[in-house]
Amino acid sequence: MSKYFGARAAVVDLDLKIPAGLCFAMLGPNGAGKTTGLRMIYGAARPSAGSVRVFGLDVARNPRAVRARLGVTLQENVLIEELSPVENLRVFGRYHRLPEKRLGARVEELIDWLDLRSHAEVPVAALSGGFQRRLAIALSLVNRPELLLLDEPTTGLDPAARQLLWARIRELRAAGTSIVLTTHYMEEAERLCDRVAILARGRCVCEGAPRELIAERLPREAVEVDCSAQDERRWFTAPGSPDRRIRTGERLIVYAERAAEVIERIRRSDGGELRPLVARPTNLEDVFLDATGTVLRESG
Ligand SMILES: Nc1ncnc2c1ncn2[C@@H]1O[C@H](COP(=O)(O)OP(=O)(O)O)[C@@H](O)[C@H]1O
Ligand SMILES: [Mg+2]
């Protein structure tokens, strides 16, 4: 599917099959097209070309049937500010036509599950960003959705709140809920998701299981070091030098099966002295770099 806003292409030829029962991430920097992609999945944006099927149904033709089985947490929280978390949950439950008795039990359950008990009766306007985010996610779960869509669920959260959400997302998945989330944190996707699609400028640059993408595209380890272009040439002229290298300003990343060999090569050509460097396993951010040739940075 594609989505254009006037002449601007937000999503171009996105063709994804998202398997049920898994956690799937749409990844990419700001402006990559993640939100637009997600909005097309739940029918809030109509594709300019192509179509979307959810639960085997064409979303454009069956918006209500699809949405009844969906939960969505938007990038910006949609909450009634003057009402408390409990009241927000009740309003949303009535919208979904939950019978009062079941609704009461469900609200209590969600308040505890997302750790909202201490502020359950406080107006939303007085809650911290972390509480509001957790409440927004609680709202999307009121109707026990089969598919949960989360647009940047953890952006701006402190580490403890992020850990809680990760744990909850894992629990949902273990209980059989399908999850599609967006994030610009590659690490988050690597930890949480079975499969990812990396978007850049509206296009999908690669798709697959994080471990597989990393293993298919790059050697196992990376060495990061600040150096000049002359340093780089001096270190890596000898035969057998690692040829998978990417430079962003002063920082050079060298990919190799064994980081220790790269470090030893650098140390030897520097006359035995070792400069500060970092050795680490190759990760999803490296895959993004490799696929787009650009550095992932928050912008705009
Ligand atoms: N309603 C809109 N009108 C015009 N341009 C839009 C609209 N929504 C998104 N865009 C543009 O589409 C591109 C993708 O946006 P978006 O899907 O929000 O990206 P992301 O969620 O990955 O940050 C951006 O260039 C953005 O400015
Ligand atoms: Mg977005």
Place of tokens 């699809």: 66
Cα 109 from Cα 102, distance rounded (Å): 11
Question: For residue range 36-51, what is the model confidence (pLDDT) as tens digits?
Answer: 999 999 999 999 999 9
**32 CB under 6 A from ligand 1?**
yes
Dihedral sign (CA 176, 177, 180, 186):
negative
What pLDDT was estimated at residue 262?
96
Strands 23-27 and 53-54: unpaired
C-alpha 108/C-alpha 112 separation (Å) is 6
Residues within 5 Å of ion ligand 2 by Cβ? 34-35, 75
What's the confidence (pLDDT) of residue 248? 87
Pocket test for ligand 1, best of 26, 27, 34, 36 (most atoms within 8 A of CB): 36
Asked if residue 34 has its Cβ within 6 Å of ligand 1, the reply is yes
Instruction: Decide: 25 and 37 in contact? Cβ < 8 Å.
Output: no
For residue range 88-112, what is the model confidence (pLDDT) as tens digits?
A: 999 999 999 999 999 999 999 999 9
* Tokens of residue 22, six digits: 């898994």
The residue type of 45 is: A
Cβ–ligand 1 contact at 10 (below 6 Å): yes
List, for residues 210-232, the tens digit of each pLDDT value: 999 999 999 999 999 999 999 99
**Which of ligand 1's atoms lies nearest the C-alpha of 37?**
17
Question: Alpha-carbon distance 208 to 57, whole Å?
Answer: 24
* Domain 3-210 part of CATH 3.10.180.10: no
Centre a 10 Å sphere on the Cβ of residue 222 and count the other Cβ atoms it contains.
Answer: 24
SS3 188: helix
Closest residue by Cα to residue 274 from 286, 282, 266:
266
End-to-end Cα, the chain, rounded Å: 25
Residue 64 token pair: 């209500």
Q: Are 155 and 184 in contact (CB under 8 A)?
A: yes
Residue 282 Cβ < 6 Å to ligand 1 = no
What's the pLDDT at 295?
A: 55
**Helix or strand holding residue 281 (H, E):** strand 277-281
Count CB neighbours of 6 within 10 A. 5
pLDDT of residue 167: 96
Round to whole Å and give the CA distance between 4 and 128: 36
The model's pLDDT over 110-149, given as tens digits with 9 standing for 90+, comes to: 999 999 999 999 999 999 999 999 999 999 999 999 999 9
Note the pTM of the prediction, 2 decimals.
Answer: 0.91
Q: How far is the CA of 95 from the centre of ligand 1 (A)?
A: 29
**pLDDT of res. 35:** 96
Task: Give per-residue pLDDT as tens, 249-300.
Answer: 899 999 999 999 999 999 999 998 889 999 999 999 999 988 887 654 433 3
Q: Is the minimum distance from the CB of 8 to ligand 1 under 6 angstroms?
A: yes
Per-residue pLDDT band at 240 (split at 50, 70, 90): confident
Distance 259 CA to ligand 2 centre (A): 36
Check if the beta carbon of residue 149 is closer than 8 Å to that of residue 94.
no
User: CA 89 from chain center: how many Å?
Assistant: 25
Beta-strand pair 3-5/8-11: antiparallel
Q: What is the DSSP letter of 124?
A: G
Whether 28 is in the pocket of ligand 1, judged by its Cβ within 6 Å, is yes
Q: What is the mean pLDDT of the chain?
A: 93
For ligand 1, atom 5, name the residue with the nearest CA. Answer: 5
Nearest 5°: phi and psi at 252? Answer: -110, 135
Q: Is any ligand 1 atom within 6 A of the Cβ of residue 45?
A: no
Tell me the CB-side half-sphere exposure of residue 252, using CA atoms within 13 A. 21
Nearest protein Cα to ligand 1, atom 7 = 5
The residues spanned by each domain of the chain are 3-210, 219-281
Euclidean distance between CA atoms 183 and 264, whole angstroms:
36
